[in-house]
Amino acid sequence: MIFETAPAKINLYLHVGPLRHDGLHELASLFVFAERGDRVGVRPAPDLSLNVEGPFAEALTDLPNEKNLVWQAAALLREKTGIRSGAEILLQKNLPIASGIGGGSADAAAALRALARMWRLDVSHEELLDLAFSLGADVPACLRAAPLYVQGAGEQIKSGPPLPRLWVCLINPGIDMPTGPVFRAFDEAHPAPMPPAGILLKTDDYETLIAELKLTRNDLEPIARMQAPEISDVIDFLAAQPGAMIARMSGSGATCFALFASAADAAKAQDCAEANGWWALASPLCMG
């Protein structure tokens, strides 16, 4: 079986602008990815099938396969390339659902990578990006799983800065935060937002990185904090951990993160969070 990791996506910052004509928001963000996350495996089969296992598989029990982004990615890739082969697909769901760390998008991107390898497809990177964007705004960035500046609604991607070695601790307080309601609440609170500005970081060292990140923000964080006060508790907890350099929410929540300069500090934060009854994950960041 061919496996691809679907790493957790983290928005180091997320600036949100107005709605576009296609109903999506203009965004400016810096995406980074943890080395750990979900996993997608594929093997040849006469037709498509999808099995989901792992600690968060139960949350997808009632979701028909045809609604799963992994299935949709496989079906769309077959349609666009004319491939007649099938695939037995395994999704190991290790990340919480609806948690702001791109789980479904990363899963779809991992499925595209794995299937393109297995089916030995001659697909250009641009074609794969277009196909990915039709599945979801975050899927194109998740194809690369490296530090990336993302603008537009997710289709404008360029390489991010050369970051110093970083570890992350992710914490989710066990709250589902579907993206749609958070964005709708943002629209109500900001009926005419300014176009979002992307901030290009010049990251020579940890001190420079954190100073520059403090000039940025996650525009959805205040909205999510009002909807789920537990998010504030998690951010305060992370900020107080030894070695934590910055703490904020990722995406539309409810997962929050802190950056660390050492694996030991990130692991200690994970242990303390789990002792509080929260889901937590410590991981190095993918450097690309």
Each residue's pLDDT tens digit, 63-77: 999 999 999 999 999
Q: Is the pLDDT confidence value at 288 over 80?
A: no
Assign residue 43 the CATH number of its domain: 3.30.230.10
Write the pLDDT tens digit of every residue in 243-255: 999 999 999 999 9
Q: What is the pLDDT of residue 90?
A: 98
Positions marked catalytic: 9, 138
> Which pLDDT does position 155 carry in this prediction?
92
Please state the rounded mean pLDDT for residues 273-282.
Answer: 98
Instruction: Give the count of domains, the chain.
Output: 2
Q: How far apart are CA 211 and CA 266, in angstroms?
A: 20
Nearest in space to 103 (alpha carbons), one of 167, 57, 50, 64: 57
| 201 DSSP β-pair partners | none
The full 3-state SS of the chain, as one line of letters, equals: CEEEEEEEEEEEEEEEEEECCCCCEEEEEEEEEEEEEEEEEEEEECCEEEEEECCCHHHHCCCCHHHCHHHHHHHHHHHHHCCCCEEEEEEECCCCCCCCCCHHHHHHHHHHHHHHHHCCCCCCHHHHHHHHHHHCCCHHHHHHCCCEEEEECCCEEEECCCCCCCEEEEEECCCCCCHHHHHHHHHHHCCCCCCCCCCCCCCCCHHHHHHHHCCCCECCHHHHHHHCCHHHHHHHHHHCCCCCCEEEECCCCCCEEEEECCHHHHHHHHHHHHHCCCEEEEEEECCC
In terms of domains, do 66 and 155 share one?
Answer: yes
CATH classification of the domain holding 246: 3.30.70.890
Do both 209 and 269 map to the same domain?
Answer: yes
Same domain assignment for residues 146 and 241: no
Kindly state whether residues 182 and 216 are assigned to the same domain.
Answer: yes
Q: What is residue 281's predicted lDDT score, i.e. its pLDDT?
A: 98
Residues 93 and 132 in one domain: yes
Which is nearest to 189 in space by CA: 214, 166, 162, 222? 222
- What is the residue whose two structure tokens read 């009854």? 277
Is pLDDT above 80 for 192?
Answer: yes
Same domain (yes/no): 12, 91: yes
Boundary (domain end) residue, out of 141, 159, 177: 159
Average pLDDT over residues 177-203: 93
Convert the pLDDT of each residue in 80-134 to its tens digit. 999 999 999 999 999 999 899 999 999 999 999 999 999 999 888 889 999 999 9
Output the pLDDT for position 132.
95
- Residue 179 sits at the vertex; the CA angle it makes with 174 and 182, to the nearest 5 degrees, is 90
Q: In whole angstroms, how far apart are CA 17 and each of 24, 28, 68, 153, 226?
A: 10, 8, 28, 10, 20
Are 90 and 40 spatial neighbours (Cβ–Cβ below 8 Å)? yes
Q: Tell me the per-residue pLDDT of 75-85, one tens digit each, with 9 for 90 and over.
A: 999 999 999 99
% of the chain surpassing 90 pLDDT? 93
Q: How confident is the model at residue 56 (pLDDT cuts 50, 70, 90)?
A: very high
Is pTM, for the whole model, over 0.85?
yes
Domain span holding position 229? 167-284
pLDDT at 50: 97
Considering the domain architecture, whether residues 108 and 125 belong to the same structural domain is answered as: yes
